[in-house]
Amino acid sequence: MKEITKAVFEGYTYVEGGVCAAKGFKASGTYCGIKASEIPDGNESPIKAKNDIGMVVSDTLCTVAAVYTQNKVKGAPITVTKNNLTKTGGKARAIIVNSKNANTCNADGEQKAERMCQLTADALGISPEEVIVASTGVIGQVLPIEPVERAVPVLVKELAYDGNVQAATAIMTTDTVKKEIAVEFEIDGTKYRLGGMGKGSGMIHPNMATTLNFYTTDCKVSADALQAALSEVVNVTYNCLSVDGDQSTNDMVCVLANGEAGGNEIVTGTKEFEVFKKALYIAMLHITKMLAKDGEGATKLIECRVTGAPDHETAKIIAKSVIRSPLVKCAMYGADANCGRIMCAMGYAETDCDVTKADVYYISKAGKILVCENGLGLQFDEDLAKAILSEEDITILAQLKQGSSEATAWGCDMTYDYVKINGDYRS
């Protein structure tokens, strides 16, 4: 049900392996009991719980690009990772990441995040600055370090070139499916791979970054080119995603490039750069859609495509306004073809663009229906509209007729389960 159709791109092949698809990357994941309430008491047999800590390690030093949350309240791991990458000039060897606790709004947060890097570095025989640290989960609760201390040797021991699933499940919180993707492509006769993993699924309304997402590639890419590709692709993928309008404190997307596949270094302004950037786009587009469709309580992937805008930014603001609207999200859940809510949400989007003359369509594999023309609600075939909106993947198309730019944003419907999941998240 939560599957996403893989878009077809000529010259790129989807492969298995997630963060381990590219040469020279190992991963692992385990359960260590970060959440106190899950730790078995006394001599009870241990609960077999979901992985809550994971590791990704490259055989060789990587060039790293990263983007982070714009929230002013930032998780301690964000601060420590930024510091580490500054010290190394954007190089890293390993990622350590836990779920169940965000290590944010804690007095000893940075100290604990640094300790996670030190533990990882010691076990791997590398420098602590070469470690990227990330955490996701409850905010404002002290992170217990003992489970991490117990886990790190296990994680190092279990590192494997096919350990991607172990790592991908370790970063899940309220996610119902693991999120992985990998593609293979060729530049000048050399085969490269790029893969990644991500986690959702609430508190998602990114701005320049989102949620926890880690990508790896065996391309050799210059630091500038890697950061340029990341920033550009994030802008049209993760930054066009909204599950609930809540922007997390711990969002991070990073890409590690180890150059293990050989070939020349990729630099900006070249044909090779475009090929690489497209691989990143394909992977990030897929994970973005996965995050949208697995939004907390979601039953549907909702895509809003705004065309005929004066510029891309305007189209994006309008598309995100529609995707974020709780009333639109509820109507999508109820398969109610309420075009007034689309017009309303476009009308309060923070742009000067005239949206009052828009045409609005609902599209899915069950068909396409025009529900609003020149800003005016139409009488339409309610049965067809219901059939279209009863599908799992729905596109809302708004043609503004104000220019030639467009943008697409992704989100999900709002259901009883969103309320249920978030009514008592901490317990």
Q: Least distance in Å: CB of 423 to a copy of itself?
A: 3
Q: Least distance in Å: CB of 203 to a copy of itself?
A: 6
Q: Least distance in Å: CB of 370 to a copy of itself?
A: 12
Q: Which is nearer to a copy of itself, 240 or 371 (CB)?
A: 371
Distance, CA of 416 to CA of 404 (rounded, Å): 38
Does 37 bind a copy of itself (CB under 8 A)? Our answer is no
Does 333 bind a copy of itself (CB under 8 A)? Our answer is yes
Provide the token pair at 6: 């893989």
Contact status, residue 242 vs residue 195, Cβ threshold 8 Å? no
For tokens 């730019």, name the residue: 405
Q: Which is nearer to a copy of itself, 46 or 377 (CB)?
A: 377
Q: Least distance in Å: CB of 296 to a copy of itself?
A: 9
Amino acid at 211: T
3-class state of residue 216 by DSSP = strand
Can 104 be counted among the known catalytic residues? no
Does 244 bind a copy of itself (CB under 8 A)? Our answer is yes
Which residues, 6+ apart, have CB-to-CB distance to 148 below 8 Å?
32, 34, 53, 98, 115, 116, 119
Please state whether beta strands 91-98 and 131-135 pair in parallel, antiparallel, or not at all (unpaired): parallel
Q: Which stretch binds a copy of itself (CB under 8 A): 36-44, 59-67, 128-136, 417-425?
A: 417-425
Q: Which is nearer to a copy of itself, 7 or 378 (CB)?
A: 378
Does 73 bind a copy of itself (CB under 8 A)? Our answer is yes
Distance, CA of 80 to CA of 160 (rounded, Å): 26
Q: Least distance in Å: CB of 404 to a copy of itself?
A: 21
For residue 193, give the nearest of 283, 269, 266, 127 by alpha carbon.
283
Q: Which is nearer to a copy of itself, 310 or 334 (CB)?
A: 334
Provide the token pair at 343: 């017009």
Distance, CA of 20 to CA of 18 (rounded, Å): 5
For residue 81, give the nearest of 125, 120, 44, 114 by alpha carbon.
114
Which listed residue (210, 211, 249, 288) is catalytic?
210
Residues contacting a copy of itself: total by CB under 8 A: 67
Helix (H) or strand (E) holding 278: helix 271-293
Amino acid at 389: L
According to CB under 8 A, which one of 111, 262, 377, 390 is a site residue for a copy of itself?
377
Q: Which is nearer to a copy of itself, 326 or 367 (CB)?
A: 326
Q: Which stretch binds a copy of itself (CB under 8 A): 22-30, 134-142, 149-157, 190-198?
A: 134-142
Does 276 bind a copy of itself (CB under 8 A)? Our answer is no
Q: Which is nearer to a copy of itself, 60 or 207 (CB)?
A: 207
Q: Which is nearer to a copy of itself, 154 or 421 (CB)?
A: 421
Helix (H) or strand (E) holding 233: helix 223-236
Neighbours of 41 (CB within 10 A): 5
Contact status, residue 340 vs residue 364, Cβ threshold 8 Å? no
Amino acid at 113: A
According to CB under 8 A, which one of 375, 384, 391, 392 is a site residue for a copy of itself?
375
3-class state of residue 109 by DSSP = helix
Does 249 bind a copy of itself (CB under 8 A)? Our answer is yes
Does 423 bind a copy of itself (CB under 8 A)? Our answer is yes
Residues that bind a copy of itself (CB under 8 A): 70-74, 102, 104-107, 138-142, 202-203, 205, 207, 244-249, 324-327, 330-331, 333-334, 336, 338-341, 343-348, 354-356, 371-372, 375-379, 414-416, 418-427
Active-site positions? Answer: 210
